[in-house]
Amino acid sequence: MKKIIILFCCLLSVFSLVACNKGSVSNDILIEVSKSTKFSKDEIENAIQNVKSNFSFPGATLTKIWYDEEKSNYLIDSYLENGRGLTNGVKEENGIILLSNFDVDGSGDNPVLNPNTTYSDYQWILIRDSKNNVWKIDDFGY
């Protein structure tokens, strides 16, 4: 019984350390926002803040995030026609796609991403129920 308790404590410690090693946001993060006829400056900034707050890829640092309305509109159309937007009923005006770059270090802490690599044009799909609701990340990737 004593060995089981010790083993359990060791496993708990390991999981705690792994959970602490989440991604980070660069202090020098570059944020770019194109002119928008679709969203207000505050709406876009709130979406950007959501991504920054939820960036949690182990061994990775978010270095750039941007909103390009032309690209976002194209990608949202694809999301609504072929992606999860097809089934979740979100309206076009309640979806935004941000793009980002992030660096993965060589620590090997992330078993999915390639070490010592920069990922570019990584997409973050955010949706909301209405103009008065907060953005939530619905999907991310390429």
pTM of the model: 0.81
Question: Cα separations (Å) of 61 from 44, 67, 68, 101, 110?
Answer: 21, 19, 21, 9, 12
d(CA 142, CA 132): 28
Residue 1 confidence (pLDDT): 52
Per-residue pLDDT of the chain (142 residues; tens, 9 = 90+): 554 444 444 333 434 334 444 578 878 899 999 999 999 999 999 999 999 999 999 999 999 999 999 999 999 999 999 989 989 999 999 999 999 999 999 998 989 999 999 999 999 999 999 999 999 999 999 9
Residue 21 confidence (pLDDT): 44
In 3-state terms, what secondary structure has residue 141? strand
Residue 26 confidence (pLDDT): 78
d(CA 121, CA 118): 10
d(CA 67, CA 99): 6
Strand order across the 117-127 sheet: 24-33, 60-67, 95-104, 117-127, 136-141
Among the listed residues 92, 38, 27, the one whose alpha carbon sits nearest the alpha carbon of residue 68 = 38
Q: What angle do CA 139, 141, 142 make, to 5 degrees?
A: 130
One-letter amino acid at 59 equals G
